[in-house]
């Protein structure tokens, strides 16, 4: 395993000016996240809206009389009793009364509701469907020789998983139905924001020929490496109920490739304040890997595993990134 340079017990205060543009980028990034969450929630609420209407028992007689006066010659009245529920049918109108402990519940359905369901089913059964601006939220870590437990020589790279956040902003994702929309081909484009929050008080040096760290005697409140990749995922997807995605179980598998757009370290301490440094830190500029997803209704769980190392070959430790999290899927 390729080792890395390590310098112990150095405390060099570093002062770096931060440009106003960095604050603008942060604001735009969080605006995108909030906008995606709001859109996903709104679409889900609209799709799950109850299409039935509840009325009181005292209105049934007047409702029945109104229908009877309008279509006196065409009404077929049917009453069915089963258990604690009673159903009345007037032409294309169904009235269902259910007895409950706190009173009776009355619901009215019409043939128009069935037509709307058919239209929704047709919409969800489109062969090609595009979703815009979805959001993944999870955490990052990495594996060494296929294990989550790092060997002792790599303990300096231990992560705080609770703060090693992964956010993927899907610019778009398109699904193409292959067999009745039960088997689909999917592809898209996304921005992957990966944070690796170091558990130990180390500094990853920049402008060096190989990965080099400093072991500090500074108590960092924040100490992380952040990367941004532009990625293209390609997957095959199986849906059990494509006409009603809210009740559908799905499983997807495929791969991805991505290009490194930028990287930076960010540290915060009482000694040095906030320090940000931009560099490539000998990271691999191209990343590729495999994707697995499983979900039901509006929630997907995902695992992204890189098939190449975080750092360039022979320039740093052999660490394979992996991200685990969930996605809210609009219907």
160 assigned to some structural domain: yes
Q: What is the pLDDT of residue 8?
A: 52
150 assigned to some structural domain: yes
**202 and 280, same structural domain?**
yes
**157 and 100, same structural domain?**
no
Q: What is the pLDDT of residue 317?
A: 94
**225 and 138, same structural domain?**
yes
In sequence order, the β-bridge partners of residue 198 are 159
The residue written with tokens 């009215």 in the block is 108
Q: Domain count of the chain?
A: 2
Q: What's the predicted TM-score (pTM) here?
A: 0.66
Q: What is the pLDDT of residue 195?
A: 97
Q: What is the pLDDT of residue 276?
A: 95
What stretches in the chain show pLDDT beneath 50? 1, 9-20, 23, 46-57, 60, 63-64, 67-82, 111-121
Q: What is the pLDDT of residue 180?
A: 84
**77 and 188, same structural domain?**
no
**163 and 90, same structural domain?**
no
**243 and 164, same structural domain?**
yes
The H or E element spanning position 223 is strand 222-239
**180 and 79, same structural domain?**
no
Do the beta carbons of residue 205 and residue 213 sit within 8 Å? Answer: yes
pLDDT tens column, 101-133: 666 666 665 544 444 444 444 555 678 999 999
Q: What is the pLDDT of residue 96?
A: 73
Looking only at the bridges linking them, the beta strands covering 5-8 and 212-215 are parallel
Q: What is the span of the domain harbouring residue 107?
A: 71-124
Q: What is the pLDDT of residue 273?
A: 93
């Amino acid at each position: 395993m390729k080792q890395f340079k390590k310098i112990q017990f150095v405390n060099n205060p570093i002062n770096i000016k931060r440009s106003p543009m960095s604050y603008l980028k942060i604001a735009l990034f969080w605006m995108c996240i909030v906008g995606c969450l709001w859109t996903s929630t709104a679409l889900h609420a609209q799709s799950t809206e109850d299409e039935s209407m509840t009325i009181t028992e005292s209105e049934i007689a007047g409702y029945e009389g109104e229908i009877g006066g309008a279509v006196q010659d065409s009404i077929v009245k049917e009453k069915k009793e089963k258990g604690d529920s009673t159903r009345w049918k007037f032409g294309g109108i169904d009235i269902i009364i259910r007895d409950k402990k706190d009173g009776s519940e009355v619901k009215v359905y019409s043939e128009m509701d069935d037509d709307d369901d058919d239209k929704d089913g047709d919409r969800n059964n489109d062969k090609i469907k595009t979703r815009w601006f979805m959001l993944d939220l999870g955490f990052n870590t990495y594996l060494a020789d296929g294990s989550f437990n790092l060997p002792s020589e790599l303990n300096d790279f231990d992560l705080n998983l609770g703060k090693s956040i992964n956010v993927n902003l899907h610019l778009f994702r398109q699904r193409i139905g292959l067999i009745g929309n039960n088997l689909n081909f999917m592809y898209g484009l996304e921005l992957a924001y990966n944070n690796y929050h170091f558990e130990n008080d180390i500094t990853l040096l920049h402008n060096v020929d190989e990965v080099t760290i400093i072991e500090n005697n500074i108590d960092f409140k924040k100490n992380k490496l952040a990367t941004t990749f532009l990625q293209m995922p390609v997957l095959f997807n199986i849906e059990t109920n494509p006409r009603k995605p809210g009740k559908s179980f799905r499983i997807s598998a495929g791969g991805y490739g991505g290009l490194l757009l930028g990287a930076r370290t960010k540290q915060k301490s009482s000694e040095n304040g906030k320090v940000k440094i931009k560099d490539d830190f000998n990271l691999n500029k191209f990343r590729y890997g495999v994707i697995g997803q499983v979900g039901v209704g509006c929630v997907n769980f995902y695992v992204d595993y890189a098939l190449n190392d975080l750092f360039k070959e022979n320039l740093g430790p052999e660490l394979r990134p992996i991200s685990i999290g969930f996605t809210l899927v609009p219907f």
